[in-house]
Amino acid sequence: MPEPICRTRVRAAPSLLRWLGVTALLSCAAAGAGAEWLALCSKCVSPTIFSLTGAGTAQAVAQARITRAEIEGWCANWQPGDAGCVARGLQEHDLQKVYR
């Protein structure tokens, strides 16, 4: 899997989100920082982008997956001390699902 680009959370209307997402990805790629996510909701596990095609065009597509690392981070933030949180998260999320 390619290295994630950078971590940025963006919440907006879908059309604005696509434009902002591509702009953020280009900025983050230039900066060479951490990983980029797709935010599903304010308290959801956020999938990490592993592929970006068509950046800067109307056909831009970002693909992301939820990984164990995102589930562990979510549990540390929202359910600290809950020993079963990661196991439940792994059961509740399809780690093979691709978000676009």
pLDDT in tens, 39-49: 888 899 999 99
Provide the domain count of the chain: 1
In a domain, residue 24? The reply is yes
Q: Could you list the residue range(s) of the whole structural domain that residue 29 is in?
A: 14-66
Contacting residues for 49 by C-beta, under 8 A, at least 6 apart: 4, 5, 25, 35, 36, 37, 38, 62, 63, 64
Task: Judge whether 91 lies within some domain.
Answer: no
* 50 is a domain residue: yes
* Spatial separation of the C-alpha atoms in residues 63 and 97, rounded to whole Å: 10
For the entire predicted model, the pTM comes to 0.61
Angle at 25 between CA 20 and CA 30, to 5 degrees: 130
User: Residue 92 domain-assigned?
Assistant: no
* 45 vs 32, more confident: 45
Is 32 within a domain? Answer: yes
Task: Show the tokens assigned to 7.
Answer: 């971590």
Q: Is residue 56 part of a domain?
A: yes
